[in-house]
Amino acid sequence: MIRRVLFPLRLAGLRLLRRGGRATLVALGIGTGAALLAAVLAGSLVAQDLGLERATARLAPTDRAVRVVWGGIGSGAENRLASVDRTARDALRPLGGAPVRAMLFRQSIARGRLFDLGAVDGLRRFVRVASGRLPATCRPDRCEVVQLGGSGPLPRLQGLNLVRVGRASLESTLPLGQLVTRETYAGVLSSSLRYHTASTPPLLLAEGVTGLASAPVLAPTYRSYAWTAPLEPGRVHPWSIDAFAARVTQARSQLAAVSLAYDLTAPVTELRQADEEGRVAGRRLLLIGGEAAALLLAFAVLAAAGMRRDAEAEWRRLTWHGARRWQLALVSGAEVLTVAVIGVALGWAAGSGVGALVADRAGVPAGGVLRHSIVSARGFGIAAALAVAAAAVVLLSLRVTAARLGALTVTPVDAAAVGAMIAVVVALARGAADQSELAGERGTGAVLLVLPALIAFVAAVVFARTLAPALRLLERRSRGAPVPVRLAALSLARNPGRAEVAVAFLVVSLGLSLFAAAYRGTLERGQRDQAAFVAPTDFLLREDLTQLVPVRRVASADTLRQLGASQALPVIRLSGNVRRLEGSRGLQLLGVPADGLTSLRWRSDYASRPPEELARLLRPKSSVALHGLRLPQRARELSLPAHGRGDELAVRAFVVAEDGHARGLGLGTTGAKLLHARIPADVRGGLLVSLTLELTNTGLHGVPNGGANAAAVAQGTLELGPLRAGQASLPFHDWTGTGGISGAGRRLRYLVTGENVARFRARQPTDERPVPVVASPRLAAAAGPGGILPLEVGSGRIVTRVVATAERLPTIDGDAVLADEATAATALAAEAPGQGVAGEVWLEGPARLEQALRRPPFDALELVSRRTVLADLRSEPLARGTLLTLAGAALVALALALVGLLLGVIADLRDDRGELFDLEAQGAEPKMLRRHLGLRSGLLAGFGLAGGIATGALLAALVVALVTLTAGAGRAEPPLVLGLDWPLLLLAVLAYAVLAAAVVALAARRAFRADVAGRFAEVGT
């Protein structure tokens, strides 16, 4: 029995040794697919680790640390510094490097003086001296300190001599963590935060915790100790997060067992969130992993087609010698499995080398990457499954037989293609794979990621089935063609089986190669679109909310032009809503000069109409300049004669300055005969646009029952004389009342409540017609007849008319309306003066302009640079890894297509040697035979290329529509659109054609150099 088993195994080994060239070629193809998959596994983990490192680096230094904090009174043996310090350091030792120690006495009082007193070991690393010098090590008899902000005298403590030796600012809050904030003690509070803020007590820091903690006078005082170990980027890896989190939990338990006064914090949540993003990117790379597996299995089928005739002959010979069926299966299985195992092993080793090289170049521990990807238990399991799958596919291809259903011939491959098509339809019906889908271990995301392999398989079967009718048609049409053409068409039409397998493999390999290239181009275009969406012009300047410096104060159009800006667009951005719109989460009003829309980077699918037409629809038909009474530049005071009857109201005049900001000037009450106010310097020469009448009391006087169920109201009449500004007399011509004011000219009637703003204002060009806007579809659907849509924006209300729809507007995620900036500014100012001021400037200019915009005074503004945004997107490790992997996959698939073509040529030379010998015997010259073989291979290569192009285009379109992720595995905004790099794709097709012709020509020349019969015999062996 042992001999019966060993003999087939020995025979399989001898066959492999005698046919080493063919076995080597088959193993090479299988190994290439395995190497690609292994490299994808390692590259995915490298990209995930780099993404985690980058996310860690983006954390604030205070948050990017492991910190132990203890709070209590320093009396008692267990609370002494030495004991507390030992416990904290023991807990931190497994989690990080040497910690920085600090302490703080927060909000202490000595003799009625409030102060903050602390100490840091190695203080010089965390402060910058502004005056004086750094302190020496603190001793109770002389404890030198530096003051970090605050005000007030130094406290006088018996037994602790505090000596201030300098003033400094806090460069880093790392040692003290949340005990103190840099904003408080670095003097960077904005003017808005300083307003009515109580004075800060002085913060005094000493050098050396031990000296300050040992002061007896502070023993009964509550203090906080902190030990901080910085967590350097790259210290925690995706494969070590769980272990790090477990050590943090164990350290907390260790501290809690000692005392509840301890607390340990670590950025575990932030690290897991960053790792989750990297894991999503890694799962998206399964697109390439599925491509590698599909290539490997397709090559296995091609190899089986080349081995089928030889295997059938061997089975007949062994059967004649008395071999059993199981022995025949053992011979074939051992031969195929050996080739598959050797190919996968070599490919896995090559992929490991590539993964190690990539990890080393990226600065990631290569050993850790390999141990947790390629050479892990999971990695070896994948490799073993690949080898078994490749061997099984080859064996099934060798033994598969067709069944006839009437006039149709059906094979198991056809049945598998039908099953794959059903799976594709189900996957398409289940929807797209976004971040949330891909974050799950199972479900829709995993199904969608095998789509490339499924679609490529279905396409391969369809094109293979189409080949036979196409060849028969070609044979009939080529009967008048030259002899080599007729022979090529006839030979393929008579025996299309192996040609079908070759074409199927070329469809898969070329289709997946073109898909990888097209998907890479799409992701690159997505990066450019994303940067253009964030910054539709070269630069955006907007108000920095931490400094509250108006854009108009430092970024005038003249100043920007002098710096080299070719265009400066003032932009209004305000939040608003449509009253009682169901499910509304608010909207944003974007005001951009209509003539500037054509210069924005605007994708064609953003709006229902192109930018040129939108500009025409939004452009005002006439001037929309703000109307009002122009005050003389030299006027310092306003005076307004008035005579009121009825309830008394407060009168306020609103003046808009040249730069758009408005001031409200209190003129007094209607009880006075002369309303008067001084004109501030910043609005002199401005435009008086409105007067407001405001309640001066509850409006409930004279109402019975204490005013229950009554509204505050004031009514009466008011006669106004001409306004006097300096020496000028300005009459109120063409003014109108709103919000309860009626009448015109000098005599007004009013009925004022607390619900509306009562205004007597100049008529504006936007009063007679609604403001034309482009609205998102949801807002456009809410518009009334004629497209009228009232909007509540800021503190006012404007009436708009929807003239077009836009799926999205640049810089805005959600519902939005777009209007002409000047029109919107006038309409907003009519309702609330000063509200329609441009808070942003969108600039076009050269790259050097960015340097000027980052210097004072522009550094007080927030700068968004499209070039910087794009560079940041491109430098994202996950994005770079994805794009590099796609490029490598395209090249590998293209190379496998060439290897498959070469394998097909060799199989033709071996299996058709009899027919070719007959042609030579009938007088065919080697030149004609080479041409015949080249035409046969060219027909197959051309048909495979056509199928590959169609398959690649279909794959790219479906994957882009279904896998809605950017190159960095984030949500695509705007959505991805298919972006084909036509020069690169044409170059790839041309390269394939040239290399395929060279491969076929080389094989044909080698086969038909001289003695045809002898060469055939050599090729056959």
**What pLDDT is attached to residue 915?**
63
CA 909 to chain centroid, in Å, comes to: 52
Average pLDDT over residues 685-707: 70
Instruction: Please tell me the total number of residues recorded for the chain in this structure.
Output: 1021
Interval 300-316: pLDDT, tens: 666 666 566 666 666 67
**What pLDDT is attached to residue 746?**
72
Interval 11-60: pLDDT, tens: 666 766 666 566 776 777 778 778 878 888 888 788 788 878 878 888 88
Quick check: bond before 857 cis, omega within 30? yes
Span of 87-91, 131-135, 181-185, 513-517 with lowest mean pLDDT: 181-185
Can you point out the beta strands (E) in 182-309?
203-207, 222-230, 262-265
Span of 63-72, 149-158, 639-648 with lowest mean pLDDT: 149-158
Q: Can you read off the two tokens belonging to residue 636?
A: 């310092």
* Beta-carbon contacts of residue 837 (< 8 Å; ≥ 6 apart): 550, 552, 572, 659, 660, 661, 825
Inter-CA distances, 649 with 691, 693, 699, 751, 990, Å = 12, 6, 10, 11, 84
pLDDT above 70: residue 1014: no
Q: Taking Cα atoms as reference points, which of 488, 468, 469 lies closest to residue 478?
A: 488
pLDDT above 90: residue 580: no
**What pLDDT is attached to residue 1020?**
46
661: burial class by Cβ within 10 Å (0-12, 13-18, 19+)? middle
Quick check: bond before 856 cis, omega within 30? no
At residue 100 the predicted structure's pLDDT band, cuts being 50, 70 and 90, is very high
**What pLDDT is attached to residue 622?**
84
CA atoms of 588 and 583, how far apart (whole Å): 15
Higher pLDDT: 480 or 611? It is 611
Model pTM score: 0.73
By three-state DSSP, how is residue 662 classified? strand
Radius of gyration of the chain (CA): 40
Higher pLDDT: 920 or 274? It is 274
pLDDT above 70: residue 348: yes
Residue whose entry in the numeric block shows the structure tokens 């599909």: 294
Percentage of the chain beyond pLDDT 70 is 77
Average pLDDT over residues 805-829: 91
Residue whose entry in the numeric block shows the structure tokens 């003046």: 655
Residues linked to residue 645 through DSSP beta bridges, in sequence order = 717
| Dihedral class, residue 433 (left if φ above 0, else alpha if ψ from -120 to 50, else beta) | beta
Interval 60-75: pLDDT, tens: 878 888 999 998 887 7
Average pLDDT over residues 512-536: 88
Percentage of the chain beyond pLDDT 90 is 17
pLDDT above 50: residue 922: yes
Contact 53, 236 (CB under 8 A): no
**What pLDDT is attached to residue 445?**
47
| Pairing outcome for strands 222-230 and 65-73 | antiparallel
- One-letter identity of residue 118: G
Average pLDDT over residues 187-193: 34
Average pLDDT over residues 556-580: 87
* Beta-carbon contacts of residue 697 (< 8 Å; ≥ 6 apart): 648
Cα within 13 Å of Cα(20), Cβ side: 3
**What pLDDT is attached to residue 802?**
94
Q: Taking Cα atoms as reference points, which of 605, 436, 574 lies closest to residue 974?
A: 605
726: burial class by Cβ within 10 Å (0-12, 13-18, 19+)? middle
Average pLDDT over residues 462-473: 79
Cα within 13 Å of Cα(960), Cβ side: 25
Average pLDDT over residues 436-455: 59
188: burial class by Cβ within 10 Å (0-12, 13-18, 19+)? middle
Can you point out the beta strands (E) in 371-487?
403-405, 408-410
Residue whose entry in the numeric block shows the structure tokens 């000219």: 745
Span of 87-101, 139-153, 724-738, 879-893 with lowest mean pLDDT: 879-893
CA atoms of 1003 and 1015, how far apart (whole Å): 12
User: What mean pLDDT is reported for the chain?
Assistant: 79
Side by side, the strands of the sheet bearing 162-170 are 127-132, 162-170, 143-147, 203-207, 113-120, 100-110, 222-230, 65-73, 262-265
Average pLDDT over residues 735-742: 88
pLDDT above 90: residue 507: no
Interval 607-622: pLDDT, tens: 989 999 999 999 988 8
| Pairing outcome for strands 758-762 and 687-695 | antiparallel
At residue 403 the predicted structure's pLDDT band, cuts being 50, 70 and 90, is very low
pLDDT above 70: residue 705: no
pLDDT above 70: residue 497: no
Report the C-alpha dihedral over residues 558, 562, 565, 566, rounded to 10 degrees.
80
Interval 257-285: pLDDT, tens: 998 889 999 989 888 887 876 676 666 66
**What pLDDT is attached to residue 248?**
92
pLDDT above 50: residue 189: no
- One-letter identity of residue 413: V
Average pLDDT over residues 946-955: 86
Residue 17's CB is within 10 A of a number of other CB atoms, namely 9
Span of 379-383, 828-832, 914-918 with lowest mean pLDDT: 914-918
Q: Taking Cα atoms as reference points, which of 822, 823, 794, 819 lies closest to residue 809?
A: 819
- One-letter identity of residue 503: V
Higher pLDDT: 202 or 594? It is 594
Q: Give whichever of 94-108, 167-181, 573-587, 771-785 has the largest mean pLDDT.
A: 771-785
| Pairing outcome for strands 747-753 and 741-744 | antiparallel
CA atoms of 525 and 896, how far apart (whole Å): 27
Average pLDDT over residues 546-575: 84
Residue whose entry in the numeric block shows the structure tokens 């890694």: 282
pLDDT above 80: residue 487: no
**What pLDDT is attached to residue 733?**
79
Contact 821, 660 (CB under 8 A): no
Phi, psi at 767, each rounded to 5° = -70, -35
Q: What percentage of the chain's residues is helix, strand, coil (to nearest 5)?
A: 50, 20, 25
